[in-house]
Amino acid sequence: MSAYITLDTGYLKDFVSDKDIKDIMPEVMNACSLLKDKSGPGNDFLGWQDLPVNYEDADLSDMEQTASGLREISDAVIVIGIGGSYLGAKSTIDMLTPVLGRKKVFFAGCDLNAQYLKELAAFSENKDISIIVISKSGTTTEPAVAFRIFLDIAESKYDEEELKKRVVCITDSKKGALRELADARGFKSYIIPDDVGGRFSVLTPVGLLPAACEGVDIRGLLAGALAVRNEADGGDPDKNIIYRYAALRNILYRKGKVIEIFSNFDRRFHYLSEWCKQLFGESEGKDGKGIFPASCDFSTDLHSMGQLIQQGNRNIFETFIIEQKESAGCRIPHNENDLDNLNYLSGREVSFVNKQAYLATSEAHFEGGVPNLTVFIPEISAFYLGQLFYFFEKAVAVSAYILGVNPFNQPGVESYKKKMFKLLGKPGS
């Protein structure tokens, strides 16, 4: 088994030439220099590059102990956050914990769905709960609304000393409403580093603490990220999968492939694809530029989106994210009547059938005019998920610099907020 994630580009043949790669490589190397020298746009938000080496053992032990304490006293841990303060933790938990297992962590503040908040609040009334609230400012509407609701519930159930055991704030080190609240009431707090933006924060306490509350090996996540940082981020650019992936995306974009579909064949990857959509969309989509990130969960979506991908507008390419290790223990039984004509598969593992579906799909889409590549993860584990996180973070930073945009800002996000505040009648709006 490989020690690292790998990149298969076999189905880019006829879409990307060796000359294309050679021609774009100076731009790739320039983008890498901007990151290394911290001389490019947004260079005050490059702290994510060093997260795998910045943690002291005491920092990780403290998070693990906090998570263990919250698990012990809680029926439910309500994690409140939106965007990067939500998707990293959600994707980690969904990937690394049993699909149908009883989970401690519930998420809120990632939207304004009144019915969901109503149901989760009713559920919380009769449970012992703890709260992890994640926000640099403490005033972002969606998480602020949710925090009000669940803090109110907690205050009705517990005295101030008990609340100090049950409320954890992950926020700015010095300023903001949530920092002020944490300091005033003595709530346990962790820092979102000033030089790490939300969509790059999965390996900060933003992603690590909620994951630890579900028993995820957060040291394994960091070890995986460190492995990619040390081994794959450098050396021969032709062999570096981060550089190569960033280059290929931009070559395809310049050839009219303006939509990238992150496709998987495992429901555990769903929220990783959602995390990728935010990471790439918010990093690249500005100045009238950007590859539009979409996602599909196969084989389910082959029976819905499959038609469009196979024969629709040829403006798309695909990035498959695939686990190489096949899962054992779920075999197709023999049936004497064989009315469904499946006896030819009797005794086969379902994971074997799923693998053939992936192989068939990647070939069919390629023949239908959709170039595709595959990021292979040897097996689903904290170590390899950490590799994926760092791989995609570094790749999008390089890719955005090639594209000619600042990967680390998001000025367009404020537009809807200003209009919403005006409609809500917020003072000063």
Q: Is 257 noted as a catalytic residue in this protein?
A: no
Do 114 and 145 meet the contact criterion of CB atoms below 8 Å apart? no
382 and 248 share a domain?
yes
CATH number at residue 302: 3.40.50.10490
188 and 231 share a domain?
no
274 and 349 share a domain?
yes
228 and 362 share a domain?
yes
In a domain, 75, yes or no: yes
Residue 138 to residue 180: CA distance in whole angstroms: 9
Q: What is the pLDDT of residues 371-427, one digit of tens each?
A: 999 999 999 999 999 999 999 999 999 999 999 999 999 888 778 888 888 877 888
Higher pLDDT, 319 or 99: 319
Q: What is the pLDDT of residues 154-200, one digit of tens each?
A: 999 999 999 999 999 999 999 999 999 999 999 999 999 999 999 99
Q: What is the pLDDT of residues 283-310, one digit of tens each?
A: 999 999 999 999 999 999 999 999 999 9
Asked whether residue 429 carries a pLDDT value surpassing 90, the answer given is: no
- Is the peptide bond preceding residue 299 cis, with omega within 30 degrees of 0? yes
Final residue before a domain boundary, out of 168, 183, 216: 216
Average pLDDT over residues 78-104: 92
372-377 and 316-323 strand pairing: parallel
136 and 269 share a domain?
no
Res. 316 pLDDT band, cuts 50 70 90: very high
Average pLDDT over residues 359-375: 97
User: Where is 318: in which H helix or E strand?
Assistant: strand 316-323
Q: Is 282 noted as a catalytic residue in this protein?
A: yes
pLDDT at residue 235, as a whole number: 60
260 and 370 share a domain?
yes
* Cα–Cα distance list, 136 to 123, 198, 280 (Å): 28, 9, 21
150 and 229 share a domain?
no
Instruction: For residue 137, report the phi and psi dihedrals to the nearest 5 degrees.
Output: -90, -35
Residue 130 to residue 232: CA distance in whole angstroms: 39
Nearest CA to 204 out of 92, 42, 326, 349 is that of 92
DSSP codes, 150-162: HHHHHHHHS-HHH
Boundaries of domain holding 316: 6-40+222-403
230 and 296 share a domain?
yes
In a domain, 412, yes or no: no
Residue 233 to residue 56: CA distance in whole angstroms: 23
Asked whether residue 232 carries a pLDDT value surpassing 90, the answer given is: no
In a domain, 426, yes or no: no
Residue 208 to residue 63: CA distance in whole angstroms: 8
Question: What one-character DSSP code corresponds to residue 103?
Answer: P
Average pLDDT over residues 235-255: 90
Final residue before a domain boundary, out of 171, 200, 216: 216
Over the chain, what is the mean pLDDT? 94
In a domain, 352, yes or no: yes
In a domain, 366, yes or no: yes
pLDDT at residue 282, as a whole number: 97
29 and 67 share a domain?
no
The distance of Cα 396 from the centroid of its chain, to the nearest Å, equals 13
pLDDT at residue 234, as a whole number: 61
372-377 and 6-8 strand pairing: antiparallel
Bridge partner list, 188 = 168
In a domain, 410, yes or no: no
In 76-217, which residue ranges form alpha helices assigned H by DSSP? Answer: 87-96, 114-125, 141-157, 160-166, 177-185, 205-213
Do 78 and 124 meet the contact criterion of CB atoms below 8 Å apart? yes
360 and 271 share a domain?
yes
Q: Which of 19, 303, 336, 414 is catalytic?
A: 303
Return the SS3 of 326: coil
Residue 303 to residue 37: CA distance in whole angstroms: 47
Tokens 């320039």 locate to 30
Bridge partner list, 190 = 170
**Which pTM was predicted?**
0.95
% residues pLDDT > 90 (the chain): 88
Give the total number of structural domains in the chain.
2
Residue 132 to residue 130: CA distance in whole angstroms: 7
Res. 233 pLDDT band, cuts 50 70 90: low
Final residue before a domain boundary, out of 216, 239, 259: 216
Q: Is 303 noted as a catalytic residue in this protein?
A: yes
CA dihedral angle for residue 124, residue 125, residue 129, residue 135, rounded to 10 degrees: 60
Q: Which of 260, 282, 318, 393 is catalytic?
A: 282
Residues whose CB is less than 8 angstroms from the CB of residue 369 and which lie 6 or more positions away in sequence, other chains included: 314
57 and 33 share a domain?
no
Asked whether residue 85 carries a pLDDT value surpassing 80, the answer given is: yes
Asked whether residue 102 carries a pLDDT value surpassing 90, the answer given is: no
148 and 239 share a domain?
no
User: Where is 190: in which H helix or E strand?
Assistant: strand 188-191
% residues pLDDT > 70 (the chain): 98
pLDDT at residue 326, as a whole number: 87
Q: What is the pLDDT of residues 104-133, one digit of tens each?
A: 999 999 999 999 999 999 999 999 999 999
Do 257 and 373 meet the contact criterion of CB atoms below 8 Å apart? no
Q: Amino acid letter at 180?
A: E
Q: Which of 417, 419, 422, 426 is catalytic?
A: 417
Return the SS3 of 174: coil
Nearest CA to 76 out of 110, 98, 108, 109 is that of 108
Q: Amino acid letter at 135?
A: S
In a domain, 409, yes or no: no
Asked whether residue 57 carries a pLDDT value surpassing 90, the answer given is: yes
In a domain, 350, yes or no: yes
Sheet (strand 105-108) strand order: 105-108, 76-80, 129-134, 167-171, 188-191
CB-based burial of residue 279 (10 Å sphere; 0-12 exposed, 13-18 middle, 19+ buried)? buried
Do 378 and 7 meet the contact criterion of CB atoms below 8 Å apart? no
Instruction: For residue 289, report the phi and psi dihedrals to the nearest 5 degrees.
Output: -125, 175
Question: What one-character DSSP code corresponds to residue 256?
Answer: T
